[in-house]
Each structure stands twice: as C-alpha cells, then as structure tokens.
Structure 1
Amino acid sequence: MMWVSSVRMAADAYLVCLHHALTTEKEEVLGLLVGQYTEGTDGVKCDIYSAVTLRRSDKRKDRVEISPEMLIEAQQKAEQMSAACGQELNIVGWYHSHPHITVWPSDIDLQTQAGYQQMDNRFIGLIFSVYNEDKKTKVGTHQVTCFQAINQNPEGESPQYVRLAVPLQVTPQPKIHSNNQQALESLCSTLYEEQNEVLEASRQRSSQYPLAHLHNASVLVRSVCNLTSLVSGPLVATVESQLQHLQEQKHQLQHEASYLRQLLKDNNISTTAA
C-alpha cells in the first residue's frame, strides 16, 4: 500500500474550505477536494485544485456524513472541471470543520477516513479547527491538519485506527480559479437549502405542531440573516475592494499614457505606426 507522502493545496481552494468552516460555529460542515495524484519513487503526491462544498446529511454537532448522492454530484463536477482544463481530475479527499475544538481527528473521523481509503488508499482528509482563541493574546485562531488513517492492530483483530500525519503545503495563486469562485458564491444557497429542508419537514407536520413550525420558520429567517452577514457581506466587500483596486490601476495607467503621449509630442515623435 502506498501512502500519500505530501499534499499541495491551491490557496483559493484553501480559502473556500476555510470560508465554509467559518459559516457556523455550532455545527461541523464538510466538502470534497478535487485534484490529482502523482506517483513517484518517493511516494504519492497529491495536488488539490478546487473544493466542492456539500449539504450535510447529518447535522449533529460532533459528526458529518456524505451521502452517495453527494459523492456522485461531486464526481460530476470533477468531470466538468476536467473537461474545462484539459486534464484528468478526480475527488482526492474530503474536508470538514471542528468549531471550538481541537484540530485532531476523533475516532469517528478516523473510521470515516478509513472507509474512504477502502475505496482508494490515496484518499486524504483535512480538518479545519475554527473559532478558537489564543489564551495569551485573546486573538482568534484557526488550524488545519492533513491526515490519513492507519490500522495499528494485526490483521484478524478489530481495527484500531490512528492518525497518519501528511505534510500540507498551501501554494499561492495569482487569482481565484472560476471553480473556487463559484464555490464561494454558492455557499449561501448550499446553507440555505440545508435550513429549508428542515423547514419543509416541519411544514408537513404544521397542522399537528403549529407552534413548532412557527419557531422553525423564525429560525430560518434568523439563519438567512446570519448567512448574509457571514457570507454575502464579506464577498461583496471583497469584490468592492477588488473593483476599487482596478479603478486605481486604470487611473494610474491613464495618467501614464497621457504623460507618454505628451512626451512624444514634445519630442516631435509621431505615434502613428509605420
């Protein structure tokens, strides 16, 4: 069996995962990672290019699950990315968040990871620990770890999985790739669909529990407001900042062009191409 020796992750894909993790501090969120493997003499290397955010099929505080339908949907997105960029891409791993708790994988995380590795032993996992605070500086911090699961018990005995640390390097990118831009833009709709599924289930029982349904509807409204504050607001601010930067660049280039035209005129140099 060949273990993954190192992982390189595009900075914009890292941004998607972190932004997704910060959308809620009460429950874990999850998604899948798109990239490719390269096998060499020093082991398997994994490159992550994009992240696919997913709806949660299990919204308990201490666990997340990926349904088969979500895996199929994510693989279809990977195939679309492959066609767009001209290289073969696949689902190479998954990520989930640990709000207010340590970055290390739980026993459930290790069992989940081991299950994925049964399908492909190169599959990797990322955990984003968010909403933590440095005790000395009182400054908010986040951590990320990359891991695989390895069974430390002999064959024939009940498996006991432990964490196998995988080195992770975040590589800078000149711009946000369109796939990751779309993932950021779809965060609101993904989280809204999760909340709306709960409301729809409540609506079916509204005649029996009208007050419970009214409460759930109010929770949905509050959640939408939180999404606007946590997701839409920062995205709009980022776009406005980029727009301002581009406008300043445009103004500077126009000023330089005006200066160069005047310089050519003063030196009696024609600007008309021969």
Structure 2
Amino acid sequence: MALQAAHLEVDAFLVCMVHALSTEQEGVMGLCLGEVRAVRIAHIRSVIILLRSDKRKDQVGIPPEQLLAASTEEERLAKLTGQPTRVVGWYHSHPHITVWPSHIDLCTQAMYQMLYRDFVGLISCFGEVKSTKTGRIVFTCFQSLQATKSSCKYERVEIPVHLIPHTDMGKACLESMMAFSRILHKEEQNAFRKIHSLSHLDPITKIHNGSVFTKKLCSQMLIVGGPLMHWLEGLLKRNEERLQALQQEKQKLLEELAALEREEQNLTA
C-alpha cells in the first residue's frame, strides 16, 4: 500500500530545484530527510546533495559510501533540529526528457522500498514550451508497486505532494546550499584527476585537460557561485532587518512592562 501524501517544505524544495537547474545536460541526485508520520505522510524537511561519479542526462551514478554515510547525517540533523530525522526518499532530475520515472528508476525505487516501505522518489524535469518559448518545470512524487497487468516488473504509483510554506530557511537546508558549490567543485576535480592520471596521455593532451578543468570551474563560479552568493547576501540582509525589527519590538515591550510595574507600585503604595 502506497503512502497517502508527501509534504515537502519549501526550503528543501528550493535546494532540490537549485541543484537540478545547475546543469542543463546532466541529471543530479540527492537524498530527502525527514520523518513519516502515523497517518503515512512523508514529511521532508531537508535534503542531502550527493556527489556524482557518473553524470549523464538519463543516468546518475553515486558512490556507495555516500549512501552509507547518510546514517551519520541522520543523527547529526536529528540533534541539530531536535526532531526525528531519517532518510525518507531520494530525488533526481530528468533534464529535457520527461518527468515520469524510467524502468530503472522504478527498480531503484523498489529496492529502496525493500529497505523502508515508506521511501519515496521525487523527480524534477525542466525544458521549454515550444509554442510560447518559455521555460517549464514539472515535479512529481512516486513509489513503485509490483505490476499486475503489464509486462513491466514494477509500475508507478503517483503520490500527492504538497509544498509546506516557510518564512525562514532551515539551518539544515542552508548547510546543504552552502555545500553545493564545494560538491560541484569536487565532482570536476575527481573527473580531472581520473583522466589526468592515465599514463598514455601526451603533454599537450594533459595541458588541454587542465584547461577544460579550469574552464569548468570558471563556469561554475559564473552560473552557480555568483547567483548563490547574491542570494546569501540578500538572505543576510533580510535577517539583519528582521533582527532589528525584533530588537525594536523587544525594547517596546520592555518599556511597556516597566510602565505596568510602575503603575502597579503606585497602586500598592
């Protein structure tokens, strides 16, 4: 039996979308953290951006040790947020393809559900509407069930997903956003070292490989690093303005409290 629904907090959704839109040619992947409540609703509060070992439009490879390390992250985030936290799902993107899960996605999802029956899968897809020449983002949530009337081994069950609004960005999601550029840099560095270590490469090819690596890092700074820094500066400014407003409200309340205490003293005198 599938889950009733998935509640995705908007700051976790923002991290998923920023991750997915960081590349137009390759899929991305991450893990969703939160809890599944008694009414069988998955509540997703934060995400972990995973380091890719294989980057293709229709397939993403993840080193196995990253999935094992997720248990450590569960414990850390549970202490950080003071709420029960575990890995409750995974997300990945289908750039310029379709939002519906492939047969590989369904098999992967079924494998996760063997470990935890309430595990969910999230897929984002973006592209262009040809008639209007405008961008479009589609998002879906699903689980896998044993197929009964088709030749496929598993079939998709769509799970209703609801975005939960937030006035602030949670600390766990903010940490994921801050780690984003570092993970992208690590991916490019791993790819560069893998090719550069090949013994049969001539010096010119190695120089070219280094130039491509430098160009990739510059593109990351332009496409991801710059906008991310601008967003963080805006977030800091809003937080400072809110802090100032709260301090003014605190001072006003203290003055009102002092006035009430003086009034009470006059009445008892």
Q: TM-score range by the shorter chain?
A: 0.7 to 0.9
| Secondary structure, counterpart of 2:74 in structure 1 | helix
> 50, 56, 70: which one pairs with 2:46?
50
Alpha carbons of 1:247 and 1:38: their partners in 2 closer, same or farther (altered >3 Å)? Answer: closer
Q: Which residue of 2 aligns with 1:176?
A: 169
The amino acid of 1:37's aligned partner reads: V
TM-score by length of 1: 0.84
| Secondary structure, counterpart of 2:101 in structure 1 | coil
- Superposed, 1:136-147 pairs within 5 Å as 136-147=131-142
Alpha carbons of 1:79 and 1:247: their partners in 2 closer, same or farther (altered >3 Å)? Answer: closer
Aligned-residue offset at 1:142:
0.8
Alpha carbons of 1:248 and 1:100: their partners in 2 closer, same or farther (altered >3 Å)? Answer: same
Of 237-246 and 162-171, the range deviating more from structure 2: 237-246
Task: Return the alpha-carbon distance in structure 2 between the equivalents of residues 95 and 223 of structure 1.
Answer: 25
The amino acid of 2:59's aligned partner reads: R
> 100, 123, 126: which one pairs with 2:122?
126
- Superposed, 1:1-274 pairs within 5 Å as 2-40=1-39, 44-130=40-126, 132-153=127-148, 160-205=153-198, 208-245=201-238, 274=262
Task: Return the alpha-carbon distance in structure 1 between the equivalents of residues 85 and 239 of structure 2.
Answer: 33
Q: Deviations over 1:163-212 (max 9, x none)?
A: 11000001111111111111111111111111111111122125634333
Q: Which residue of 2 aligns with 1:264?
A: none
Q: Which residue of 1 aligns with 2:266?
A: none
Q: Deviations over 1:15-56 (max 9, x none)?
A: 00100001111111100000101133xxx1100000000011
RMSD over equivalenced CA pairs, Å: 2.9
Task: Return the alpha-carbon distance in structure 1 between the equivalents of residues 33 and 178 of structure 2.
Answer: 18
Give ranges in structure 2 of 5+ residues lacking alignment: 253-257, 263-269
Percent identity for Structure 1 against Structure 2: 37
Aligned-residue offset at 1:87:
2.5
Aligned-residue offset at 1:230:
2.1
| Secondary structure, counterpart of 2:94 in structure 1 | strand
Q: Which of the two has greater helix per residue?
A: 2
Is this contact kept in 1: 2:26–2:57, CA < 8 A? Answer: yes
Alpha carbons of 1:137 and 1:115: their partners in 2 closer, same or farther (altered >3 Å)? Answer: same
The amino acid of 1:147's aligned partner reads: F
Task: Return the alpha-carbon distance in structure 2 between the equivalents of residues 250 and 46 of structure 1.
Answer: 33
The amino acid of 1:23's aligned partner reads: S
Task: Return the alpha-carbon distance in structure 1 between the equivalents of residues 76 and 30 of structure 2.
Answer: 17
Q: Deviations over 1:82-124 (max 9, x none)?
A: 1222232100000001111111111111111111111112110
Give ranges in structure 1 of 5+ residues lacking alignment: 261-269
Is this contact kept in 2: 1:7–1:166, CA < 8 A? Answer: yes
The amino acid of 2:17's aligned partner reads: L
Alpha carbons of 1:249 and 1:13: their partners in 2 closer, same or farther (altered >3 Å)? Answer: closer
Task: Return the alpha-carbon distance in structure 2 between the equivalents of residues 73 and 254 of structure 1.
Answer: 41
Alpha carbons of 1:158 and 1:24: their partners in 2 closer, same or farther (altered >3 Å)? Answer: same
Alpha carbons of 1:213 and 1:90: their partners in 2 closer, same or farther (altered >3 Å)? Answer: same
Alpha carbons of 1:247 and 1:204: their partners in 2 closer, same or farther (altered >3 Å)? Answer: closer
Runs (4+) of structure 1 exceeding 4 A deviation are 243-256
| Secondary structure, counterpart of 1:87 in structure 2 | coil
Alpha carbons of 1:166 and 1:80: their partners in 2 closer, same or farther (altered >3 Å)? Answer: same
Aligned-residue offset at 1:75:
2.0
